[in-house]
Amino acid sequence: MAEKNKKSIEEKSLWEDARAMLRKAEQDGVETAWDRLEQQTPHCKFCELGTSCRNCVMGPCRITAKMPRGVCGADADVVVARNFGRFIAGGSAGHSDHGRDLIEVLEAIVEGETKDYQIKDEAKLRRIAGELGVADAGGGALAAVARAVMEILYADFGSRKKEVAFLGRVPEKRRAIWQSLGMTPRGVDREIAEMMHRTHMGCDNDAASTLIHAARTALADGWAGSMIGTELSDVIFGTPSPKKSTVNLGVINQEQVNILVHGHNPVVSEMIVAAANDPEMLARAEAAGAGGINVAGLCCTGNEILARRGIPMAGNHLMTELAVVTGAVEAVVVDYQCIMPSLLQAAGCYHTQFITTANKARFSGAVHFDIKPATALAQAKEIVQLAIDGFSKRDPQRVEIPSQPVEIMTGFSNEAILNALGGSLTPLLEAIKAGKIRGVVGIVGCNNPKFQQDSGNIGLTKALIQRDILVLVTGCVTTAAGKAGLLLPQAIDQAGPGLQEICGALGIPPVVHFGSCVDNSRIIHLCALIAEELGVDISDLPVAASSPEWYSEKAAAIGLYAVASGIYTHLGLPPNILGSPAVTDLALNGLESLVGASFVVEPDPDKAADLLEARIVSKRKALGLPK
């Protein structure tokens, strides 16, 4: 069976750096996600269809034509909807708990408990305070304004509100739709807890009802949890502005102490960057015979420090094990989410130290630091010291850094876009109306070893820019686009004439890096701003979303909040819902009549581009715009 599932190295990844490291992994005896996928294939059919239930011990139950109900009587629709609901709750919890961690850092700043973190973007804090109705947001003492914002956002996690704080950003028409459907997100923790409750045996036994609450849970992620994560990260670490950086495994430096930061929250990675730039640490690295300290990113925490500081990006999800295989990494420092447990084994094959920093993401056998705001920088320096100490243990015979880094442009935020446009959205809207930019698609999310790595991400991105559709990328698609050379202004060569003109004039790439996964909140915010400007709903806009190679619960939550916000969303593979025709039909069709958008599933990137283009054309037509 395993033989049949065996993929060649070329079939596993699009990239030379990945292929070289896959060959080296074979030689070095390092197992990768592709090897384990082979072992796991074929997957359990019930789980794939979503028709197995483990929600109580009268079961577990599997639903088939011959056994159409579980012991309690739940049918396929109920079981699939419940499983999907919990899947969404998991994803929303991830982003939202990340957002909460930023509030805790803001609290530590306000309470004077930390000097390591500060308010870097005071103007943004005051702007947000104004939006949230804080009295004297513009003129009050900074600490008082920060405290007021902190209180309001903390309260978003509870259960006493009728709606979360940033809903003021949502167009009136959209809020009315949510209100009428019972989809208005009230509190982040509340919606997640309620999803767990509804999916307990004997509660919500109506698939559509469960799915509407799943959408509400996802909206609490997009318009609260993730949005808080993004906005407070900007306040504390600075709002991204355009800058150059580099990407791929070639950013790992043979001469230097290499520290890879991996995970999601900038709270830790920012401190590692600060510690690595400390003159005393640099002197120690030199004393250890290294030519400096090189911090590079992986996955979303990589996106955070890439967008804000221009720190190079070593790789996306499926590059994380392969980065270790270079044999040149002294330390992998992780916070949480998307960190393959296998990294510990991979690190163990080399001199690499695997260092965890969050009590909610412990890995047995790892070196652990419980990083706290009050002591973060000192702890980060200890971590950097461990990496420096590891430098002499590196075996030069086992080092192979496979490629030359590719240049990229990064650092776009809504503020940066407005700035580039001269302070108002009007030039962007004019370009859209004239059909020079026919539409905008956010391509986001992960890698999944079920696909040739990044072939979907790149295939779709290229196909869309050729059709004059502007692409915004976040998460792991960033690295893919960067490696393909698409995040540079000169990539307009590969775009249609309209994008060539507009992006050319602005000096921006046709594929714009918008940050990490929580920063998808920037994209929905931008959609809301455009909709407000045009006096329409988000669902009326020529925009769409896509996650060609998604894998995670978080990606599903993002997809669902996009759809519930009125954005047509493409997925490269379906969630585990196909065992219920009712749930599947609701996701692919029924949602359209409820929220004005739905999911579409298509593995082939060119066909997906056709579908997204057709959607954009239909929205343009309805707005009375040329094709």
Binding-site members for [4Fe-4S] cluster are 44, 53, 56, 61, 72
Tokens 């500081």 identify what position?
A: 309
Can residue 517 be called a binding residue for ligand CUV (CB under 6 A)? yes
SS3 369: coil
Assess contact for 518 and 597: CB atoms under 8 A: no
- Residue in 249, 406, 446, 480 binding ligand CUV, rule: CB under 6 A: 446
Measured distance CA(220)–CA(183) in Å, rounded: 10
Residue 600 phi/psi, 5° resolution? -135, 140
What are the residues facing 568 on neighbouring strands?
A: 544
SS3 328: coil
Instruction: Describe the crossing of helices 76-110 and 553-564 by its angle, rounded to 10 degrees.
Output: 90
**Closer to ligand CUV at the Cβ: 338 or 470?**
338
Annotated binding site for [Ni-4Fe-4S] cluster: 264, 300, 338, 446, 476, 517
Binding mask 267-306 for ligand CUV (x = CB under 6 A): --------------------------------xx------
Task: Give the interface segment with ligand CUV, choosing from 157-165, 240-248, 373-381, 550-558 (CB under 6 A).
Answer: 550-558
Binding at 467: pick from ligand SF4, ligand CUV, none (beta carbon under 5-8 Å per type): none
**Closer to ligand CUV at the Cβ: 310 or 445?**
445
Which residues of the chain form contacts with ligand SF4 (CB under 6 A)?
A: 53-56, 58-61, 70-72, 74, 79, 201
SS3 200: coil
Can residue 555 be called a binding residue for ligand CUV (CB under 6 A)? yes
**In whole angstroms, what separates CA 303 from the centre of its chain?**
9
Of 212, 332, 320, the closest CA to residue 269 belongs to: 332
Binding at 213: pick from ligand SF4, ligand CUV, none (beta carbon under 5-8 Å per type): none
Residue 124: CB atoms within 10 A of its CB come to: 19
Assess contact for 343 and 320: CB atoms under 8 A: yes
Per-residue tokens: 428: 């962007």
Assess contact for 394 and 327: CB atoms under 8 A: yes
Give the contacts of 487 (CB within 8 A, at least 6 positions apart): 247, 408, 409, 410, 473, 478, 481, 509, 511, 512, 513
Cβ of residue 69: shortest distance to ligand SF4, in angstroms? 8
**Closer to ligand SF4 at the Cβ: 55 or 239?**
55
Measured distance CA(519)–CA(241) in Å, rounded: 14
Measured distance CA(303)–CA(307) in Å, rounded: 6
DSSP 13: B
Cβ of residue 517: shortest distance to ligand CUV, in angstroms? 3
Cβ of residue 516: shortest distance to ligand CUV, in angstroms? 6
Cβ of residue 557: shortest distance to ligand SF4, in angstroms? 23
SS3 417: helix
Binding at 130: pick from ligand CUV, ligand SF4, none (beta carbon under 5-8 Å per type): none
316-335 residues near ligand CUV, rule: CB under 6 A: 316-317
Residue 386: CB atoms within 10 A of its CB come to: 17
Cβ of residue 596: shortest distance to ligand CUV, in angstroms? 26
**Closer to ligand CUV at the Cβ: 438 or 554?**
554
What number of chain residues touch ligand CUV (CB under 6 A)?
15
SS3 219: helix
**Closer to ligand SF4 at the Cβ: 79 or 476?**
79
Cβ of residue 76: shortest distance to ligand SF4, in angstroms? 10
Assess contact for 570 and 459: CB atoms under 8 A: no
**Closer to ligand CUV at the Cβ: 234 or 454?**
454
Dmax of the chain from CA atoms? Answer: 71
**Closer to ligand CUV at the Cβ: 253 or 521?**
521
Length of the chain: 627
**Closer to ligand CUV at the Cβ: 459 or 475?**
475
Binding at 317: pick from ligand SF4, ligand CUV, none (beta carbon under 5-8 Å per type): ligand CUV
- Residue in 217, 410, 552, 569 binding ligand CUV, rule: CB under 6 A: 552
**In whole angstroms, what separates CA 423 from the centre of its chain?**
27
Binding at 55: pick from ligand CUV, ligand SF4, none (beta carbon under 5-8 Å per type): ligand SF4
Cβ of residue 457: shortest distance to ligand CUV, in angstroms? 10
Measured distance CA(187)–CA(195) in Å, rounded: 12
Identity of the residue numbered 607: K
23-42 residues near ligand CUV, rule: CB under 6 A: none
SS3 477: helix
Tokens 């008082």 identify what position?
A: 144
**Closer to ligand SF4 at the Cβ: 60 or 626?**
60
Binding at 44: pick from ligand CUV, ligand SF4, none (beta carbon under 5-8 Å per type): none
Can residue 222 be called a binding residue for ligand CUV (CB under 6 A)? no
Task: Give the interface segment with ligand CUV, choosing from 349-357, 426-434, 548-556, 572-580 (CB under 6 A).
Answer: 548-556
Cβ of residue 198: shortest distance to ligand SF4, in angstroms? 13
Kindly list the residues in this chain that would bind ligand CUV in the complex (CB under 6 A).
Answer: 264, 299-300, 316-317, 338, 445-446, 475-476, 516-517, 552, 554-555
